[in-house]
Structure 1
Amino acid sequence: MSAGLFSHAVELRTIASPALWSITVAALVLLLALDLLLTRRPREESVRAAAGWSVFYLLLPVLFGFYLWADHGGGVAVEFFTGFVVEKSLSVDNLFVFMLLLAAFAVPSALARQVLLYGIVGALVLRAIFIGLGAAALQSGTWAFLLFGGILILTAGKIVKDVMAGEQQEVDISSMRTVRLVRRFVPVTEGYRGSRLVVREKGRMALTPLALAAVAILATDIVFAVDSVPAVYGVTEDPFLVFATNAFALLGLRALYFVLQGVLAKLRHLNHGLAVILAFIGVKLILHWAHGVWPGVPEIPTPLSLGVIVCVLATVTATSLLANRRERRRAPRQPLEEAERHV
Structure 2
Amino acid sequence: MLGQGWTYKNTLAIEEDDSDLSDNFIVKTCQKFIPVTSSYCGDQFITKQNGVWKATPLLLTVAVIELSDIAFAVDSIPAVFGVTRDPFIVFTSNLFAILGLRSLYRLISEGMSDLEYLQPSIGVVLGFIGFKMILDYFGIHVSTEASLGVVATCLSAGVLLSLLTKSE
Normalised TM-score (structure 2):
0.71
Give the secondary structure class of the aligned counterpart of 1:191: coil
Whether the 8 Å CA contact 2:47–2:56 is kept in 1: the answer is yes
Please give the per-residue CA displacement for 1:106-155, whole angstroms capped at 9, x wherever unaligned. Answer: 8xxxxxxxxxxxxxxxxxxxxxxxxxxxxxxxxxxxxxxxxxxxxxxxxx
1:173 deviates by 4.8
Whether the 8 Å CA contact 2:81–2:90 is kept in 1: the answer is yes
Distance 2:111 2:12 in 1: 16
1:190 is aligned to 39
Distance 1:217 1:263 in 2: 21
Q: 1:171 to 1:319 in 2, by over 3 A?
A: farther
Give 1 or 2 for the bigger CA radius of gyration: 1
1:181 deviates by 4.3
1:162 is aligned to none
1:313 is aligned to 155
Distance 2:120 2:91 in 1: 26
2:147 corresponds to 1:300: no
Distance 1:171 1:242 in 2: 37
Paired residue for 2:89, among 230, 241, 256?
241
Whether the 8 Å CA contact 1:105–1:213 is kept in 2: the answer is no
2:156 corresponds to 1:290: no
Q: 1:183 to 1:269 in 2, by over 3 A?
A: farther
| Structure 2 counterpart of 1:273, one-letter code | S
2:5 is aligned to none
Give the secondary structure class of the aligned counterpart of 1:223: helix
| Structure 1 counterpart of 2:158, one-letter code | V
Distance 1:207 1:302 in 2: 47
1:314 deviates by 1.2
Paired residue for 1:215, among 43, 60, 63?
63
| Structure 1 counterpart of 2:142, one-letter code | I
Query: What value does the CA root-mean-square deviation take over the aligned residues?
Result: 3.2
1:230 is aligned to 78
| Structure 2 counterpart of 1:213, one-letter code | T
1:260 deviates by 3.9
Distance 2:121 2:42 in 1: 40
Q: 1:227 to 1:179 in 2, by over 3 A?
A: same
Please give the per-residue CA displacement for 1:71-121, whole angstroms capped at 9, x wherever unaligned. Answer: xxxxxxxxxxxxxxxxxxxxxxxxxxxxxx987278xxxxxxxxxxxxxxx
2:3 is aligned to none
Distance 1:183 1:234 in 2: 37
Whether the 8 Å CA contact 1:198–1:211 is kept in 2: the answer is yes
Alignment map for 1:119-198 (pairs within 5 Å): 172-174=19-21, 176-183=24-31, 186-191=35-40, 193-194=42-43, 196-198=44-46
Whether the 8 Å CA contact 1:104–1:173 is kept in 2: the answer is no
Distance 1:305 1:231 in 2: 11
Whether the 8 Å CA contact 1:179–1:216 is kept in 2: the answer is yes
Whether the 8 Å CA contact 1:273–1:313 is kept in 2: the answer is yes
Alignment map for 1:1-150 (pairs within 5 Å): 104=14
Give the secondary structure class of the aligned counterpart of 2:39: coil
Whether the 8 Å CA contact 1:199–1:207 is kept in 2: the answer is yes
Distance 1:191 1:302 in 2: 50
Normalised TM-score (structure 1):
0.39
| Structure 2 counterpart of 1:214, one-letter code | V
Bigger Cα displacement from structure 2, 219-228 vs 277-286: 219-228
Number of equivalenced pairs:
156
Whether the 8 Å CA contact 2:82–2:133 is kept in 1: the answer is yes
Q: Percent identity?
A: 35
Distance 1:268 1:202 in 2: 53
Whether the 8 Å CA contact 2:69–2:98 is kept in 1: the answer is no
